[in-house]
Amino acid sequence: MAALSDSDIWTPLFIAIGASALFFGGFKARAFVICLCLSLLITSQLSGVLKSAVNRHRPKQVETVRMVQLRRTSPKFLTVFKKPTIRFSDSSDRTRSGPSFPSGHVTTNCVIAVFCTLFYRRRGWLYWFIAAAVGYSRIYLGAHWPSDVIATLFLAIGEALLLLGLCELIWRTAARKWPPNLYARHPSLIVGHASSLPSPHSQARHGTSSSDRRTGGSRHSP
């Protein structure tokens, strides 16, 4: 649980994945990384503002809770192979961490999960298992109340959908004038390729066939 909540362990992995997608991925992979990074930057700033506004105390700041602390190692990921230190919170923990709501860890992972789901629908939804595990780890470690995690979940989903919709709107508005050839191949950030979108001719044929089925076939003059 402590390893799941330690972002320093996983940041190099995420950076490596993002850099690989930018340099070796296609249009959709690059759009995914760029839109996600911009959205995470905005949501992190918004979470900081909400933390200061709500100013809710963490469980370990008001109660005695069991805490799991990882050993310091270099590089950081080696800490998962070391036995952690387990202790109970005391008065020294009341000023060590910031406010409890919203959870930055849950916000970040839920935003990633939403983007993965919408960009890579077949397998992207699997990231929700990671987001759920991180959310549970925050409760397990006494860093957040259960209500913090649940409320942050819905807040992060709303933020992710709003920001992704904004990115899509900017792309469809700006790309028509700036790189029209690229826009012709990729009219949508999420779909990623024009061939994935239904063409007007196919829609017309579909509408015609539907009309024929309703009328019992094509009409013949007497």
Residues 138-183: tens digit of each pLDDT = 998 888 999 999 999 999 999 999 999 999 999 888 887 777 788 8
Residue 46 pairs in a beta bridge with: none
Q: What are the residue ranges spanned by the domains of the chain?
A: 2-174
Comparing 66 with 15, the larger pLDDT belongs to 15
**Predicted confidence band of residue 119 (pLDDT cuts 50, 70, 90):** very high
Sequence-separated contacts (24+) of 158-162 with Cβ below 8 Å: 159/39, 159/42, 159/43, 159/46, 159/107, 159/111, 160/39, 160/43, 160/110, 160/111, 160/114, 160/115, 161/114
Comparing 4 with 192, the larger pLDDT belongs to 4
In single-letter form, the type of residue at position 94 comes to: R
User: Which stretches within 55-145 are classed as H helix?
Assistant: 59-62, 104-119, 121-124, 127-140
What pLDDT, on a 0 to 100 scale, did the predictor assign at position 81?
81
- The CA-based dihedral angle spanning residues 86, 129, 29, 186, taken in that order and rounded to the nearest 10 degrees: -150
How do residues 40-92 score in pLDDT, each as one tens digit? 999 999 999 999 999 898 888 888 888 887 878 777 777 888 888 888 877 77
**Cis ω for the linkage preceding 84 (within 30 of 0):** no
* Structure token digits, residue 164: 């992704």
What pLDDT, on a 0 to 100 scale, did the predictor assign at position 118?
94
> pTM of this prediction?
0.79
Measured between alpha carbons, how far is 21 from 192 in angstroms, rounded to an integer?
A: 14
Residues 6+ apart with CB under 8 A from 164: 35, 39, 114, 115, 118, 189, 190
* Structure token digits, residue 118: 């919408």
The mean pLDDT of 22-39, rounded to a whole number, is: 92
What pLDDT, on a 0 to 100 scale, did the predictor assign at position 174?
82
* Structure token digits, residue 202: 């196919």
Measured between alpha carbons, how far is 115 from 118 in angstroms, rounded to an integer?
A: 5
What pLDDT, on a 0 to 100 scale, did the predictor assign at position 8?
84
CB atoms near residue 133 (< 10 Å): 14
